[in-house]
A and B are shown apart, each in its own frame.
Chain A
Amino acid sequence: SQTIHQWPATLVQPVGSPLSLECTVEGTSNPNLYWYRQAAGRGLQLLFYSIGIDQISSEVPQNLSASRPQDRQFILSSKKLLLSDSGFYLCAWSGRREQFFGPGTRLTVL
């Protein structure tokens, strides 16, 4: 069966610091991968999606970037965090239809 991992689970970072969140998927090959952000009490905002290695599409222009160095690894990065980057970051994968989420990373920028 497929499993999706995210780390860290929680993170507190100062404004202006860098960020790196990692997501890995097990039990499937060539999945579509996604990064979402959910602000407190809000819906899901799609940030990036990827259909393959080094194939990244950005949905919302911002100070975040994503990379997919391996088939089942998806990384979300920032060079300088903003207060507005605080939120719940979710990685997801999909095969042909259904989409499944990882456990998420709760980021607080102070």
Chain B
Amino acid sequence: QKEVEQNSGPLSVPEGAIASLNCTYSDRGSQSFFWYRQYSGKSPELIMFIYSNGDKEDGRFTAQLNKASQYVSLLIRDSQPSDSATYLCAVKAENTNAGKSTFGDGTTLTVKP
């Protein structure tokens, strides 16, 4: 079992719809959770982070964390074609050396006009 699991996709949604991306993790000691967006040929860009159970909203993005169930999700409202990218989930336990994060393999999202 991978430490951080994501559906590889591709996930396809129509423009204007809500895209829902999910991530599960195995280490119950994980304390910090991150979502990165990676466009084809580019480096990952941090778009959301969440540290407490519940929802965190930033513009069209909402991160949801449920530590008891060990999952974190990213909702993208009013999806746009420019949201088409691979989304990487990362988790970090506070006591890891050098603050290493563990990354999932990513979910590819396609938003169709």
Contacts and interface: CB of A to CB of B under 8 A. Distances in A.
Contact of A32 (B36, B43, B98): B98
Contacts of B36: 101
User: What class of interface size applies to chain B in its complex with A?
Assistant: 20 to 34
B106 A100 contact: no
Contacts of B97: 49, 51, 57
A44 interface: yes
Given A43-B103, A90-B43, A97-B32, A51 B98 contact: yes
A50 B98 contact: yes
Interface of A: 32, 34, 42-44, 46, 49-51, 57, 88, 90, 94, 96-104, 106
Interface of B: 32, 34, 36, 41-46, 49, 51, 88, 90, 92, 97-101, 103-106
